Amino acid sequence: MFDTLFLVSSADPNTGLSVAELQTLDYLGCLMSVYDGEDASAWEFGFSVTDLGAPFSTTLNEAAQQCQRVGWIVRSEKIFQASAAGREEVAFQSRLAPNMRRVRYLSASIAASMSMTLPSISDALNREPGLRRAIAFMRRKRLLDDTSLGLVIEQFDGLREAVGDGSSRSNLMVPTVVWLSYLAADPDRQVGG
């Protein structure tokens, strides 16, 4: 529930987040944890690709429904927004040890969404090796398998070389935006290339 609450509370209060945007930003947070040296399984839940080619986590979707039930987020039409109680809860939960590590990665996603539009983030992530492979083979599959992770880690090694490892240690916004821009720059890029 923390990811949902944090992302919705951190989003622009005037626009909120759609279900797809919530899923995309959380997937990006997971990927940035991999960039930072974490094992993808440490994210505690996985993602699969939908028929539309987007990352999706059933666990995250259920967490959004739970947050709605307890009144931490409200949904108007297709948009989630944080309630006052939700903002108070996320302030409390952000200080809990299990969540402190996640804040770094989720914050990178939110920071990227302030530099790039959410649709452009989604478009760029569609060129991420795991999503691209799943889309190319037109099948639903679990994302971040060993092959996909190897390809992403290869990109991240190049990213560290380009932005310098020191800058990424304090703030993940720069490597996040640079990587997304790299993915978006060449729509014809082949998987792993």
Would you list the domain boundaries of the chain?
2-185
Query: Tokens 């987020």 label which residue?
Result: 73
Give tens-digit pLDDT for 54-89. 899 999 999 999 999 999 999 988 899 999 999 999
Q: Looking at residue 146, what is its pLDDT?
A: 87
Quick check: helix, strand or coil at residue 76? Answer: strand
Q: Looking at residue 142, what is its pLDDT?
A: 80
Distance CA 47, CA 144 (A): 8
Task: Output the CA–CA distances (angstroms, integers) from residue 169 to 104, 152, 164, in the order listed.
Answer: 10, 18, 9
Q: Looking at residue 191, what is its pLDDT?
A: 45
Evaluate if pTM is beyond 0.75: yes
- Whether residue 33 contacts residue 105, with contact meaning beta carbons closer than 8 Å, is answered with yes
Task: Output the CA–CA distances (angstroms, integers) from residue 141 to 7, 70, 138, in the order listed.
Answer: 25, 32, 9
Low-confidence ranges of the chain (pLDDT < 70): 138-140, 165-169, 187-193
